[in-house]
Amino acid sequence: MNDITYITYQTFPAHTANSLQTISVIKYLARNNKKVKLIFPDRSSSSNDDINNLQNFYGFNETFEVTKTHHNYPFRDYLGDSNFKKIRFHISHFLWSKKVVKKVLQENNTKTYFTRSDWVFYFLNKNNQKVIYECHQVSKLRKFIVNHLITSNNCEIVYTNELLKGDFKDDKKSTVIHNAYDEDLFSNEILDMNNKQVVFVGNLLRFGKDRNINFLIECFSHPSLKNYQLFVVGGPDSYKDKLITSIKDAGINNVRILGRLDRKDTIKIIENSEYGILINTSLSIHSTHHTSPLKYFEYLRARLKIVAIDFPAHRTLPMSNGILFFEENNVDSFIEAIRKFSSIQRDESLYYKNFSYDVRIEKILDIAARLEGLEPPTL
């Protein structure tokens, strides 16, 4: 179980939580002495398979093999919102996956494959390959593929959320493994967080739509929160600039929109904060039921007081009994949650350590060992 090939229809480098999650998995597999190969398509103007470029972009030192394959199909990231984009994506995803799996099987001797791509999962399984498929969202296509392959002995499915697993006809003992934080990014210094600094980390738009950041700005413009300072970390820059202009025009002085920062600078902001916010809109079932936010586990690691919009997905997060929830678009509810937390001490327990990438990869390697009929590895 020393060779693992990770095939994905994602592109790298990219400013997305999904790409960061994939790189983190590969980084920790490599750290556990696995020979890892990453294969992805050249479907963006920024696609780059230079390991030095990826190391600088994502901030890691581990080395692994990276292959960017030719992508001569109709879906290209940089074409923007052109006609039939969703259809072009599915056609291109299908054709690329079929071609790349055929090519890889001719050239590779890998025993185990890892993917979060529906069609890569499908074609690997149909070729009797052992594959771990990580499922982050639900769709009609994904339900069809997963439910069609779920009885196969050659595959294991990892869900990132209990509610997500419940949306599939999965009677197997498939594993739920939430996302995790990367210990490498954090200091061991115990910081004084009683400073009324509040942080939100994440993309400011989801599928091109606002993630309700304007609601947060409205809340912090309220006199009740005038002594609190909100820091917002994330892009895109075009939307960041619009927010900065609107804040300036409104004369709001306790909100700072920082835009995208590198991972270590982002973690510094988190570590120096007292509160962390989880927010989104109810327009997407992924947001309401299926998300397992990376930032949540980073907030946990920094021992922040976490305030979250009251969605089922947030209620099912590990250690969610420590979250204070607020109602969607309810300013009074949000302010009440913040002010209630002001009299509560931070959680000093070390239970957050169960959600590090060290632990997450240990679970994934156990799954890979079972899939190959081996004893789980001793890490």
The answer to which of 203-212, 239-248, 298-307 has the lowest mean pLDDT is 203-212
Query: What pLDDT, on a 0 to 100 scale, did the predictor assign at position 337?
Result: 96
Query: What pLDDT, on a 0 to 100 scale, did the predictor assign at position 190?
Result: 60
Query: What pLDDT, on a 0 to 100 scale, did the predictor assign at position 174?
Result: 82
The DSSP code for 288 is I
CA atoms of 297 and 337, how far apart (whole Å): 20
**Mean pLDDT of the chain, nearest integer:** 91
Is the confidence at residue 213, as pLDDT, over 70? yes
Query: What pLDDT, on a 0 to 100 scale, did the predictor assign at position 77?
Result: 67
Mean pLDDT of 39-43: 96
Whether 301 contacts 352, CB under 8 Å: yes
Query: What pLDDT, on a 0 to 100 scale, did the predictor assign at position 78?
Result: 54
Is the confidence at residue 195, as pLDDT, over 90? no
The DSSP code for 289 is I
346-363 b/e (C-beta count within 10 Å ≥ 16 → b): eeeeeebeebbbbbbbbe
Candidates 371, 364, 353, 370; CA nearest to 379 is 364
The answer to which of 59-73, 197-211, 272-286, 365-379 has the lowest mean pLDDT is 365-379
CA atoms of 202 and 198, how far apart (whole Å): 14
Q: Tens of pLDDT along 337-353?
A: 999 998 888 777 888 99
Candidates 91, 105, 102, 106; CA nearest to 141 is 91
Q: Give 74's pLDDT tier (boundaries 50, 70, 90).
A: confident
Q: Tens of pLDDT along 77-119?
A: 655 555 577 888 899 999 999 999 999 999 877 889 999 999 9
Mean pLDDT of 130-158: 91
Query: What pLDDT, on a 0 to 100 scale, did the predictor assign at position 82?
Result: 58
Q: Residue 205's beta-bridge partner residues?
A: 210
The packing angle between helices 263-271 and 294-301, to 10°, is: 50
| Predicted model pTM | 0.92
Question: What class is the 184-351 domain?
Answer: alpha beta
Delimit the domains of the chain by residue range: 3-180+356-371, 184-351
Query: What pLDDT, on a 0 to 100 scale, did the predictor assign at position 60?
Result: 95
CA atoms of 114 and 130, how far apart (whole Å): 9
Query: What pLDDT, on a 0 to 100 scale, did the predictor assign at position 109?
Result: 78
Dihedral angle over CA of 132, 137, 143, 147, nearest 10: 30
Task: Indicate if 184-351 has the same CATH topology as 3-180+356-371.
Answer: yes
Query: What pLDDT, on a 0 to 100 scale, did the predictor assign at position 218?
Result: 95
Strands 255-259 and 229-233: parallel
End-to-end alpha carbon distance in the chain: 13
Of 3.20.20.70, 3.40.50.2000, 3.40.1360.10, 3.30.2020.30, the CATH number of 3-180+356-371 is 3.40.50.2000
Is the confidence at residue 208, as pLDDT, over 90? no
